[in-house]
Amino acid sequence: MSDECPKCPTGLPPWLATFADLMSLLMCFFVLLLSFAEIDAVRFKKMAESMKDAFGVQREIAVTDVVKGTSVIMQEFSPGKPEPTPIQELRQQTTDVEKELLDSEDESRRELDIDAVKAALQAKLEQEVREQAAELQEMLDEEISEGLLDVETEETKIIIRIQEKGSFPSGRANLNPGFFEVISKITEVIATTPGKIIVAGHTDNIPISTRRFRSNWELSSARAVTVVHAMLSNAAIDEGRFLIQGYADSRPLAANDTSENRAQNRRVELVIQRGKDVDSGEVIRAGKQ
């Protein structure tokens, strides 16, 4: 009986439980590391091919796209399209509506800003026009008091009306010699005033038919041309600013029923037009000068 082996104690050694816990923790640690790691698809494919050649147990599956998996613990390597949930759809719709509202608000704000700028420039321009008209009235006070001229404003336009009295002989388009000085005064102010200059001739409704003028249309146009030529004697004014028009008796100021009204309709108008190009930006450039 002395040769028999001593009996081993029942149960596992105490150190084995600690060792098993340690191994389990190490396995969990490496599994977590592997799940967090990103996989190079090309290298994984090469590794899979080498394992197939080594073990011969992996089936050959035709792959048309590059493997797109990011973790070895995923069951498939093709990225799946997430199904939209009601919360996601509602959130997307809300985002789209908010974007449309913000875009419309920005567009409305820009339009309001542009309209406000235009209104401010328009008001400033009208003030400048009134000041220039007052300057003209002061310079031509004597001629205005004699009934040879009228100066008035209409929004952003200065209108200088040259009456036939003292300026043109009846039925003719030649300026009276004494009226050139008046034209020279007008030109000095207009030369420094920006804007288009419209020179329009008007007559009464009494027909005219002479060797030179076949109708009132030709007479009104010829008088406008004469005034422009007189103004161009001043080299400071640009001839490209002029626009000549002839209206005959189509735009009367008063009814052609008396001699006084007909005399009022026989005129040449100088219109300094500055408010026509608000939208094109010319008013903005003029306001900055």
Is the pLDDT confidence value at 91 over 70? Answer: no
Give DSSP secondary structure letters for 110-130: HHHHHHHHHHHHHHHHHHHHH
pLDDT at 117: 76
- More confident call, 34 vs 285: 34
**What's the number of domains the chain is made of?**
2
pLDDT at 281: 41
Same domain for 275 and 190, yes or no, is yes
Same domain for 216 and 276, yes or no, is yes
Is the pLDDT confidence value at 41 over 60? Answer: yes
- Please state, in angstroms and as integers, the Cα–Cα distance from residue 52 to each residue in 11, 45, 72, 176, 210, following that order: 43, 10, 17, 114, 114
pLDDT at 86: 55
C-alpha to C-alpha distance for 278 and 155, rounded to whole angstroms:
13
Same domain for 69 and 133, yes or no, is no
Q: Is residue 54 part of a domain?
A: yes
3-state secondary structure of 242: strand
Q: Is residue 97 part of a domain?
A: no
Q: Which is it for strands 267-273 and 196-202: parallel, antiparallel or unpaired?
A: antiparallel
> Could you report the per-residue pLDDT of 123-173, keeping only the tens digit for each?
888 888 888 888 888 888 888 888 888 888 888 888 999 888 878 888 888
Q: Which domain holds residue 188?
A: 129-288
> Could you report the per-residue pLDDT of 110-119, keeping only the tens digit for each?
766 777 777 7
**Percentage of residues in the chain with pLDDT exceeding 70?**
70
Same domain for 158 and 230, yes or no, is yes
Is the pLDDT confidence value at 273 over 70? Answer: yes
In CATH, what number is assigned to the domain containing residue 277? 3.30.1330.60
